[in-house]
Structure 1
Amino acid sequence: MKKLVPTSIVGSLPKPAWLAPPEKLWSPWKLEGDQLLEGKQDALRISLQEQQLAGVDIISDGEQTRQHFVTTFIEHLSGVDFENRKVVKIRDRYDASVPIVVGEVARQKAVFVDDAKFLRKQTDKPIKWALPGPMTMVDTLYDDHYKSREKLAWEFAKALNEEARALQDAGVDIIQFDEPAFNVFFDEVNDWGMAVLEKAIEGLTCETAVHICYGYGIKANNDWKKTLGSEWRQYEEIFPKIQKSNIDIVSLECHNSNVPLNLIELVRGKKVMVGAIDVASNTIETPEEVANTLRKTLEFVAIENLYPSTNCGMAPLSREVARGKLSALSAGAEIIRKEFAI
C-alpha cells in the first residue's frame, strides 16, 4: 500500500567536506578523475543513508554529483562556452559569472543517468531526480547565439526531455524540474514558459513535478524576500497555468514564508509538495512546527495529495543542521498521519 503523506527533500543536501568545501554554492571539487567519480558515489551513498535514517520516504540524490543545480546540466551540452564567462544578474537579484551560449545547444550524452542507475541499485524506495527547468537555465547564462530567451528555452526543453526519458528508463519514479525563475518572470511563464516545460515532460509516464521557490538561503535571496511585503502572492500569477498543465506535482515554499496558503487552492487536484522546512535558517524546526504548517495546508489540498518537503535545497547548510531538519520533517509528517489515523 502506498504511504500517505510521503516526505522528500527538494533537491540538494550538504556535501561532505572531503568532496567539496561546505556551506556554499558552486563549491569546487576537491578530488579529480577516478577519485572524484568514486568520491561522488560515496557521497551519494551517505546522502541516501542520511535520508533513510531520518525516515524520508521518497529518496533523492542530494545533488551530490553536481556542483550546481543548473550549470552541471548545461556543462554537458554542446554550444556553451564555460571558459569565457560573463557576469549577469540572475533572477533580477544577484550577479554571477556564467557560461555563454555560442552555438546550437544540444544534448550530446547522458548527464545524470549513470548516477540515477547507481542510486536505483541502492534502495527499493521511490526515487526522485531534479533537473533544472528550461526558463531557469536560460536565466543562468548569457545567450550570444539565439538572442531570444524563448528560442533558447525550447532548445533546452528538447535536451531536458531526452535526459528525462533516459532517467525514467533508469528507474526514476518522479522527475522534478526546478523553476525558481517562474516566481520572477510572470509574463514569460504565461507566454511561453509553461509551454516549454510541457515540452520537457512530453511522453513521460513517470510522475513529474515543478519546484518553484524563493531561492536558497543565501544573502541575495534573503534580502529580496524582505522587499516582498507581508504577502508573497507570486504563485497567484502562475498557478492557474500550472493547474491546467500535465505536471503532476507542484512544489512550493510555505514554512516561514509570507505565502498566503489559500493560493494552494489554485492548483486543487494536483499533488502538492509543501515546503515545511525553512532552508534559510539554522534553527531546526520542531516536529510540531512542521505538523502545524502541514495542517494549515490541508484546507486547500486533499491529504492523499500532500507531500511534505523542504522549502528549497539545503546545500548551503551544515550537515548537522540538515540532518536535524530531515528528522523534523519526518516526525512532523508522522504526527499528521496519526491525527488522521492513516
Structure 2
Amino acid sequence: MMKKLLPTSTAGSLPKPAWLAQPETLWSPWRLADDELIAGKQDALRLALQAQQQAGVDIISDGEQTRQHFVTTFIEHLDGVDFQQRKTVKIRNRYDASVPVVTDAVARPKSVFVEDATFLRQQTNQPIKWALPGPMTMIDTLYDDHYKSREKLAWEFAKILNQEARELEAAGVDIIQFDEPAFNVFFDEVNDWGIAALEKAVEGLKCETAVHICYGYGIKANTDWKQTLGEEWRQYEDIFPKIQASAIDIVSVECHNSRVPMELIELIRGKKVMVGAIDVATSTVETPQEVAQTLRNALQFVDADKLYPSTNCGMTPLSRTVAAAKMKALCDGADIVRRELSA
C-alpha cells in the first residue's frame, strides 16, 4: 500500500477549528447544530487534510474532526447503551468518570463513520487511515448492567467493530487503527482474551490493520499516573509477545520523551511499527533533528521498511499552530533519516 520509505502519519486526533468546538479542550461540545454541524464537520475535515498535506504527512487521517470523543462517539450510535442512565467508574484504573450504562444486548443499527470516511476518500488520493476504539477500551468506558462480563461484552463489541471496519474498507480506507490504551493497564486480560477480541474485530479485512497502544493524552490524570511508573515504562513487555503473534499488521507505540525502553520494540520484530516521535503532552515543538534521533534509535529494533514515523498520541489539546509545527517536524525528521538510509 505504501511504497515510500518511512511513511509518516499521526496517531490520533488533531485540534478542531474554534468555530466547531472549544479549542485546546478534550471532548468539547459542538458549537454548531443540525445541517450547520454536518457542513462544519466536512469543512473541518478539509482543513485537517490540508494541514497534514502542508506538513508533508504521507498517510492521512480524519483527525477525529467529526467526533467529540474517541470512544463514546462510536458507542452513541449503538443500541443497548443508555446514555441517560449514568454510573461512575474508574477509567483505566486512573480517574473517575460518569459513563453510560449497557442495559441490553448491544447492536449497530447502521454504520457510524462510513459517510465521513467516504467524504475524506473523495478529497485525496493519498492513503488514509481511520481510527476506531478497541473492544477493551470500549468496555472500560462503560458500566455493564447486562452481560456482567467484561470478556462477553468485549466480544460483542469486537463483532460490531468488525462490521464497521468492513464497511470502512469498502469505502476506501487503507489502514484501520484500533485505539487500545487499556492494553497498557489490564495485562492479564489483554493476554487472556483482549488480543483475541481485537483479532475478531479485524477478521476478514484485506486492508492493513493497526493497534494504537499509548500512555494517553497529556491530561493531569495521565501525567500523574506516568509519575508512578518509575524510571522505565515496561508495560509493553507484558503484551508485545502475544501481539507479535497476532493478525494485527501495525503496532503504534509511544517513544519520544517517554521512559519506554526502545529495545522493547524488538519483541514485535516482523510487525510494522508506528514509532511515536512527537510528544503530545507538551506544546514545545520538536526539532527535526530530535525526531530523526528517535527514529535512528528505533531502527536498531525495527527494519526500515517497517518503520512508520508518527506522533505518540492525538493532539486535540494543543493549538492548531503547535500541532501543525509538530507535524512538520515529524515529516522533516523522517526525511533526514530517509536520506541517510538512501545514502
Same fold per superposition (TM over 0.5) = yes
- Which residue does the alignment assign to 1:218? 219
Question: Aligned partners of 1:129 and 1:30: how far apart in 2?
Answer: 24
- Which residue does the alignment assign to 1:137? 138
**How big is the shift at 1:88?**
1.1
Question: Aligned partners of 2:325 and 2:99: how far apart in 1?
Answer: 33
Q: Give the ranges of 4+ consecutive aligned residues of structure 1 lying more than 2 Å apart after TM superposition.
A: none
Question: Aligned partners of 1:95 and 1:39: how far apart in 2?
Answer: 32
Letter of the structure 1 residue corresponding to residue 206 of structure 2 = T
Letter of the structure 2 residue corresponding to residue 85 of structure 1 = R
Letter of the structure 2 residue corresponding to residue 128 of structure 1 = K
- Which residue does the alignment assign to 1:13? 14
Equivalent residue runs for 1:1-342 within 5 Å: 2-341=3-342
Letter of the structure 1 residue corresponding to residue 334 of structure 2 = A
Question: Aligned partners of 1:59 and 1:99: how far apart in 2?
Answer: 32
**How big is the shift at 1:84?**
1.8
1:76 aligns to what SS in structure 2? coil
**How big is the shift at 1:293?**
0.3
Residue deviations 1:185-222 (CA, integer Å, cap 9, x gap): 00000000000000000000000000000001111000
Letter of the structure 2 residue corresponding to residue 175 of structure 1 = I
**How big is the shift at 1:87?**
1.7
Letter of the structure 2 residue corresponding to residue 105 of structure 1 = V
**How big is the shift at 1:98?**
1.1
Query: Which shifted more, 16-25 or 110-119?
Result: 16-25
Letter of the structure 2 residue corresponding to residue 61 of structure 1 = D
Question: Aligned partners of 2:249 and 2:14: how far apart in 1?
Answer: 24
Calculate the aligned-residue CA RMSD, in Å: 0.8
Letter of the structure 1 residue corresponding to residue 331 of structure 2 = S
Question: Aligned partners of 1:341 and 1:260: how far apart in 2?
Answer: 27
Letter of the structure 1 residue corresponding to residue 266 of structure 2 = E
2:85 aligns to what SS in structure 1? strand
**How big is the shift at 1:266?**
0.3
Question: Aligned partners of 1:83 and 1:318: how far apart in 2?
Answer: 32
Question: Aligned partners of 1:87 and 1:328: how far apart in 2?
Answer: 40
Query: Which shifted more, 1-10 or 175-184?
Result: 1-10
1:35 aligns to what SS in structure 2? helix
Residue deviations 1:50-104 (CA, integer Å, cap 9, x gap): 0000000000000000000000000000000111222211000011121111100
Letter of the structure 1 residue corresponding to residue 62 of structure 2 = D
Residue deviations 1:290-321 (CA, integer Å, cap 9, x gap): 00000000000000000000000011111111
Letter of the structure 2 residue corresponding to residue 91 of structure 1 = R
Residue deviations 1:17-53 (CA, integer Å, cap 9, x gap): 1001111112100111010000000000000000000
Letter of the structure 2 residue corresponding to residue 178 of structure 1 = D
Letter of the structure 2 residue corresponding to residue 191 of structure 1 = D
**How big is the shift at 1:341?**
1.5
Residue deviations 1:167-195 (CA, integer Å, cap 9, x gap): 00000000000000000000000000000
Aligned residue pair count = 342
Question: Aligned partners of 1:330 and 1:284: how far apart in 2?
Answer: 13
TM-score, L = length of structure 2: 0.99
Question: Aligned partners of 2:167 and 2:218: how far apart in 1?
Answer: 31
2:59 aligns to what SS in structure 1? coil
Letter of the structure 1 residue corresponding to residue 188 of structure 2 = D
Letter of the structure 1 residue corresponding to residue 233 of structure 2 = W
2:29 aligns to what SS in structure 1? coil
